[in-house]
Structures are given as C-alpha cells and as structure tokens.
Structure 1
Amino acid sequence: MAEGLHRVVIVGAGFGGLEAVNHLKGAPVEITVIDQRNHHIFQPLLYQVATASLATSEIAWPIRQLMRGRPEVTTLLAEVVGVDQEARQVRLRDGASVPYDTLLLATGARHAYFGHDEWEPYAPGLKTIEDATTIRRRILMAFEEAEMETDPKAQDALLTFVIVGAGPTGVELAGTIAELARDTLPPDFRNIDTHKARVVLIEAGPRVLAGYPEDLTDYTKRSLEELGVEVELGAAVTECTAQGVVYGGKTLAARTIVWAAGVRASPAAEWLGVPADRNGRIIIQPDLTIPGHPEIFAIGDTVTLPGLNGKPVPGIAPAAKQAGIYVARAIRGRLEGGAAPGPFQYRHQGSLAQIGKRKAIIDFGWIKLRGAIAWWIWGIAHIYFLIGVRTRLSVALNWLWIHARNQRSARLITQGSDNESESSGGRTTS
C-alpha cells in the first residue's frame, strides 16, 4: 500500500461494512477489514440453511474472495477486544493492534436471552453459519432418533419443535419446519408419521410480526395455523432446558428449541466506554459518529438512532447498507475538503417475510401484498441481492425444485461437538 494514505479500519464484514468498502473504491485510502469469521453471510436466508433448504455455500462468501480485486484492502481474520481512542488503535485478541485514522464499527448483534444466558445451550439462536448448521443438525436428528424411539412420550418430545419469538425469523423458521415435516420427509421414514410433528411458535406479545400492519399479521397467523403450526401468543417463556420449555404456566416437552426472541448488540459500546441503551446499542450522533469522536463511526445492529418517524432505525440489511454508503460518502467528503453531509436519514423500502414456500407478506407502505404473488416478489428480491450469478442461479433452481417437488437437497447431518451433544440431551451425530 502507498505511504501516507488515510487509514480506514472497518470492524465487521456484514452488510454495512462491505457497503462502505464498496463505496470507498477509488478514494485515497487504505482499508483494513477485520472480522472474526472469514466469510460474509446473507443473513436474511440463514434460516433456510437451518431448515435444510439451502447449503451454506449458497448464502456465504469468503471475504478475501470479495476483496480480490481491491489491492488497497487488507483483510484480517481476528477478534477485536478493544479500542484505544487516544492512540487510535484497534486492539486484537492476540495482543496485536491496528492503527486507524477513521474507524467504522459494524459489528452486528448476538442473541439476547433476557438475563438467562444459561438457556443458550438448549435453545440456540440464529446469527451465524455455525448456528444454522447446529439447528439443522438438531432438527434432522430429532426425526432420526424418533424413528428408533419406542417410548411414545419420548417420541412425542422428539417430534415437538419449539420456536421462541414470532418476529420474521421465528415465523419463517416455524413455517419451513412445518413444511419439512409435512411435505418433504413423509416418504423417507417407516416407523414414524412425520405429519404428526408439532411445531409450536411462542410469542410473549399479542401478535406475530409485531412491526407489520395488523391485517398482515392476522393473515400470517392464519397461514401458519393452516400449515399446522401452533401459535401461542401472550405467553413468555420462563424456563428452557434440555427437556423442553415452560411458558404461560404450561410445561411443554420438546427436544428441539430455537431462540428467535431477541438480540443484543456486540460489546462495541464497552470497547469505547460510551453510553448505550438497554440492549447494548451505542447511542450515536445523527451523523453516525461517536459523541466526542468524529473519527469513529458506528452503524447497523451496533447502534440505536431515531428515524424520521421517531422510531429507531430497524436492525435490517437495507438500513445497514444505507448507513455504510453514508459513512463512505462522509469519509470521501472529509478527504476532499467538502461540506459535511447532513444527518443520516434512513429510507424504508418495505418489509418482507416468508410464511411458507408459496406464501409471504410484503408491506411497502403504499401497498400491501400477501399470498403467492408476495412470495414470488420476496424470492426475486432476495435472489437479486445475492452475490454472484452462480449463486443466484443455484438458489433460484433450489427454490423452484422445492416449490414443484417438495424436496430439500441440503439435508446433511454434520458432526457436532461433545459439548453440544451433552447440552442437547446426549444426542450424537454421524
């Protein structure tokens, strides 16, 4: 890299971080991208890996491959543990440090168990490829073990799948697991009737998809119930173990539980020692900088910022992308001596959620869609934002095959760790 160039360090290669890198192309900067994983994930489709619809390689790409044509970009596979604001250095787990002139924190979020982190081994969340393959393994192994189980009660527990939280991820997981049990798996098993599998979606609030208009949430609930999903509203989970869950004063035996009820920001606020909200999100300035440190930007799930309607900017991919573009333009403006951009303004482009392989809902604000037409638009939109022609074709063909033949090709059970086997009730894989 050339000497004397402005040093931009970006922590996190998610949607926001990569968008900033892309829009800094051609600027007089040297960029260092730091991530604790070597791949970028298309998170909106992570649940399809967890439910055996897509392979991991169809929604994830090596960061180095994405940066191959950018000689000004250095990629580091490392874990950040702190930021020295005075020295302007990012500190890494191995003791090394990376100097910066401008820092962008796009570190995302992790699962939130509302003070019950001990539930995590029994109810994994869905944020990473590892999470997705863990959940896929548990779902598929539940059917395999049920096939060999002779105790009716134990078999019922194995064939009961609980999803905690009825946001988009919870709804999509519930609908897809129900279709897996009712459409894909029945011809493959001899001793069990997979149609009898129970999929239970538990939500503490009064509605599924609380951020959507009420008529769309009512449609979603009816559609899930038509798929055989049991929707339990107004019931918070109060206990979660290897044997099942307790919610609303009721105990439900279940060997497979998935957590989709909440998220907590990365520890970026702790690194900086700055104010954060109750979910750990940094309270930032309207220009996406840290108070008192204009050289440090933060975006995405790492932060909280009011939108035009007074509600916080949502922690979704389009918001992170828009913020990444804004930061790149702000850096360019500073280097070129131009005027500072105005406050960041999020432009909501619509909300989409899939219910099943032929049903979805869309809220564009000015128009609301549901059913098959919404499903096709949902699919086209997601394919468009995937990286690479090969990936787009592969995902499109997979979805068409599932739509036409009810077959899911990614039903591989991969080896789990000893710790995971213990926490899931002694379950082993091969």
Structure 2
Amino acid sequence: MTEPSNRIVVIGGGFGGLETAMRLGGSTARVTVVDQRNHHLFQPLLYQVATALLSTSEIAWPIRHLLRRYKNIEVVLGKVVGVDRQARNVELEDGAILPFDQLVVATGARHAYFGHDEWEPLAPGLKTLEDATTLRRRILTAFERAEREPDPARRAAWLTFVIVGGGPTGVELAGTIAELAHRTLPGDFRNFDPASARVLLIEGGPRVLAAFRPELSDYAARALAKLGVEVRTGHPVSGMAAGEVSIGDTVLAAETVIWAAGVQASPAATWLGVSPADRAGRVKVEPDLSLPGDPDVFVIGDTAMVMSEGKPVPGVAPAAKQQGRHVGATLLARLAGDRTPRPFRYRDQGNLATIGRKAAVVDFGWIRFKGGFAWWMWGLAHIFFLIGVRNRLAVALSWLWIHTTGSRSARLITQRDPLVGDD
C-alpha cells in the first residue's frame, strides 16, 4: 500500500504541471493532477485557432489520455479555490478536499489590464480555448457585419481590428489577421473588399518584440507593414468603450479589439498565504523552486518569480517545462530518501515569433535568423513540441494546405457573442 507521505498534488495541467506529473509516473507516489479544464493546451499556437488556421482539437489533448498509462496518477476535474498549508489540503469549489504531503502549484497566468478590468469584455485576451473561439467568432462576425452594413463609417468600424500589445502574441495575431483579410477572404463577399480592412498593432513601448534583438524587432515591424499592418509604438491605450478605443488623445472607431499586452499570475499567492513578489502577483521561490519556509510546496511556471544565475526566468513554455522536469526529479529523489536541495538552472532555448505566412524571427542568442528560413525553423520547432504523431501530421498538413491555397478550413462562427448580439 502507498505510504501516506507519498501523496503529491499537482495543481494545473499546463506545461509545468504535466511535465511534473509525467516525471512521477510509475513511481511509488500517489499523484493527483487537478485542473479546471479537462485538456492540456499548446498555448503557442492558440492564436492560430483564433484566426481560423487550426481547429481546437489540433492543439489540445485530454489530460486523462496523456496520463492514462501511469496507474499511480489520478486526474481530477475541478476548480481550486484555496490551499490550507497547515492542514495540508487543497480546497475545490465544490467543497471537495485533496490532502497532500507535497504540493506543486503550476496554475499559469491570466490577462492583466493594468487596473482597467472593465476593458476585458471589450478587448478579450488569448489564454484559453474559450478565448480563442471567442476571438475567432468576433473576427469572422466583423466581416459578416461589414457585408450587411450600408453606412460607410459603420462598415469601416467593423473592418478595423486593433491588437493591443507588441509581444509575440500581438505580432502573430496582427500578421495573420492581415493575411486573412488580404489573402483568404477576397472573393467571398459581394458588398465590400475584405482587403480594405485596417489592422493596427498598438505597443506602448518603443518597439515591438522587445525581448528580441533590435535588428529583429525592426525587421518584424517592416514585415508587418508589408502585410498592411499599421504599427504604432510609444502610444499606450488610454481608454476604451464599446466600438472605440483611445490611443493617447486619438479616438479610433473599432469594433474588434484584442488584448495581448500583459499577464497576471493566478491567485496562488493568496491561496498559499504569501505576499506576491511583484505587481504581476507571482510568488517568490527558493532556488530549488520551493516556497520559502515550506520545502514541500513548489511553485512553477508563470505563477512563480524564478531567478536563475541572477536573471529572472521568462514566462514561456520551455521554461515551465524545464521547471516541471526539475521539480519532478527533485520529488523522485525525495522518494528515494535524498532531500538534498537542487537549484534550478534555466537553459535558454531562444525566442521565436512568426509574422505572417512567409516571415519569422528566431533569436538563439548566439545566432539569429529572419525571413523565410526563420519561418520554416519556427514551424518545425512547433511541430516537434506538439504531442502525438497524429497532431503533428494534422498541423503540418493544415499549414501546407494554407500555405499552398490560402484557404482556412477552420473559418467557423460558433455560439453567440452577447456583445454583438444575434443576426
């Protein structure tokens, strides 16, 4: 029988949590993975679902399926609302209690609106499959509304797409929406030209892709401009209302606004009863990723403020996977009786971002690429990290078809958006 001291609860089935669980698969520990959704999501390609390039099933997999071969792992579908560290319990919204001896918190991040949470209904972000299908619905519905709108000013507002935030997500969204308007949709409508759509990328800082080298950032801005994207830097969004967005003193009529400007950590700090390490709400951890004063509680991924070799670890998928593997290895060592602290060492695997169909930027630090070759590298890297041969083939074939024909098979408007009402 499993010893009580071997009860390990992992909160979150994302990159970090899944890696931790897989490392513990087949061990003597009794592992429980709890998530409020039943699927693991490959977030780097989420924007492609939002822009009708891929379907939801191509970038998400049931957590139970991924962990089914590990008989010592149980999966629980539920929403965590608290952690009682004294009683060693995880509390779920439905009142259920998950006891633990060791806890791994890998709950990721959510959107941050910098004190303007009232903007969220007007400018949804992109973190979940629900977000992606919401954005896809709003983007495609905007073109449908433009087709039936007789007033030129109102039609222009429906055909104006504003993306707030010039990081990789914002750049990738802007580029692919521009390609949707200029390459995919022309010929589908009778009362207007989809190529007349405006796509604006708003970045409050001095340049897009600030985490990349300046020359790659400059290339990205030029590539976006070539696609027809209007890039505005140094002018943060100052206000928002239904059908309009304010950029500095300029008010722009736009029915579709997408938020890609910031993230806020999950409420893990509140659950754990600690003070957040920064304004994003992340939890400060020890070098081995454990909670200060509580070596049996680990916090990883976007939820944690992690330092490695004197530098903060970025909140990207490769970092979360590395942290998950590290914590899994630490817990395996403890099961064998070794409680020696093991400092986490982050291995930077570089930054990648795509800008439309034939352009991307890749920065590995020691070497950098841009253009078509970088686009192929970006695609191969993402296909490699997808889970399962079926998904790799499906995504590769979808991209090949889109690259060859320009057609997007996932252009489906599903469900109703209460913000824009029914047709």
| TM range, smaller chain | over 0.9
Q: Does 1:36 align with 2:36?
A: yes
Q: Does 1:290 align with 2:288?
A: no
Aligned match of 1:195: 195
Deviation at 1:360, TM superposition (A): 0.5
Aligned match of 2:225: 225
Aligned residues of 2:287 and 2:308 also touching (Cα < 8 A): no
Aligned residues of 2:22 and 2:67 also touching (Cα < 8 A): no
Could you tell me which amino acid in structure 2 is paired with residue 36 of structure 1?
Q
Could you tell me which amino acid in structure 1 is paired with residue 240 of structure 2?
C
Aligned residues of 1:179 and 1:227 also touching (Cα < 8 A): yes
Aligned match of 1:382: 382
Could you tell me which amino acid in structure 2 is paired with residue 303 of structure 1?
A
Aligned residues of 1:290 and 1:298 also touching (Cα < 8 A): yes
Aligned residues of 2:5 and 2:101 also touching (Cα < 8 A): no
TM-score (norm 2): 0.98
Q: Does 1:397 align with 2:391?
A: no
Aligned match of 2:422: 428
> Structure 1: how far apart are the matches of 2:407 and 2:175?
15
Deviation at 1:2, TM superposition (A): 4.1
Aligned match of 2:169: 169
Identity between Structure 1 and Structure 2 (%): 61
1:39-58 matched pairs, under 5 angstroms:
39-58=39-58
Deviations 1:233-278 (A, max 9, x none): 0011111122110012101100000000000000000011112111
Deviation at 1:341, TM superposition (A): 4.3
Q: CA, structure 1 residues 297+339, in 2 after alignment: closer, same or farther (shift >3 Å)?
A: closer
Deviation at 1:369, TM superposition (A): 0.2
Aligned residues of 1:5 and 1:30 also touching (Cα < 8 A): no
Aligned residues of 2:11 and 2:34 also touching (Cα < 8 A): yes
1:111-122 matched pairs, under 5 angstroms:
111-122=111-122
Deviation at 1:67, TM superposition (A): 1.6
Could you tell me which amino acid in structure 2 is paired with residue 292 of structure 1?
G
Report the more deviating stretch, 67-76 or 9-18.
67-76
Could you tell me which amino acid in structure 2 is paired with residue 403 of structure 1?
H
Aligned match of 1:235: 235
Aligned match of 1:278: 279
Deviation at 1:150, TM superposition (A): 0.2
Q: Does 1:147 align with 2:141?
A: no
- DSSP 3-state at the match of 1:32: strand
> Structure 2: how far apart are the matches of 1:302 and 1:92?
19
> Structure 1: how far apart are the matches of 2:222 and 2:421?
34
1:176-187 matched pairs, under 5 angstroms:
176-187=176-187
Aligned residues of 2:24 and 2:328 also touching (Cα < 8 A): yes
Aligned residues of 2:29 and 2:335 also touching (Cα < 8 A): no
Deviation at 1:307, TM superposition (A): 2.8
> Structure 1: how far apart are the matches of 2:71 and 2:280?
37
> Structure 1: how far apart are the matches of 2:258 and 2:308?
31
Aligned match of 1:332: 332
> Structure 1: how far apart are the matches of 2:291 and 2:315?
18
Q: Does 1:268 align with 2:268?
A: yes
Q: CA, structure 1 residues 342+5, in 2 after alignment: closer, same or farther (shift >3 Å)?
A: closer
Aligned residues of 1:36 and 1:79 also touching (Cα < 8 A): yes
> Structure 1: how far apart are the matches of 2:4 and 2:219?
58
Aligned residues of 1:5 and 1:28 also touching (Cα < 8 A): no
Deviations 1:315-353 (A, max 9, x none): 000000000000011111112122524311111011100
> Structure 2: how far apart are the matches of 1:24 and 1:272?
23
Aligned match of 1:65: 65
Deviation at 1:292, TM superposition (A): 0.8
Aligned match of 1:88: 88
> Structure 2: how far apart are the matches of 1:311 and 1:192?
51
Q: Does 1:110 align with 2:110?
A: yes
Could you tell me which amino acid in structure 1 is paired with residue 401 of structure 2?
W
Aligned match of 2:306: 305
Report the more deviating stretch, 120-129 or 22-31.
22-31
Could you tell me which amino acid in structure 2 is paired with residue 67 of structure 1?
L
- Structure 2: gaps of 5 or more residues: none
Count of aligned residue pairs for this structure pair:
422
Deviation at 1:306, TM superposition (A): 2.1
- DSSP 3-state at the match of 1:186: coil
Could you tell me which amino acid in structure 2 is paired with residue 396 of structure 1?
A
Could you tell me which amino acid in structure 2 is paired with residue 286 of structure 1?
P
Aligned residues of 1:103 and 1:296 also touching (Cα < 8 A): yes
> Structure 1: how far apart are the matches of 2:394 and 2:6?
40
> Structure 2: how far apart are the matches of 1:393 and 1:125?
28
Could you tell me which amino acid in structure 1 is paired with residue 421 of structure 2?
R
- DSSP 3-state at the match of 1:189: coil
- DSSP 3-state at the match of 1:296: strand
Deviation at 1:59, TM superposition (A): 0.3
TM-score (norm 1): 0.96
Report the more deviating stretch, 261-270 or 273-282.
273-282
Aligned match of 2:101: 101
- DSSP 3-state at the match of 1:188: coil
Deviation at 1:126, TM superposition (A): 0.2
Could you tell me which amino acid in structure 1 is paired with residue 295 of structure 2?
P
**Alignment RMSD, CA only?**
1.1
> Structure 2: how far apart are the matches of 1:49 and 1:12?
22
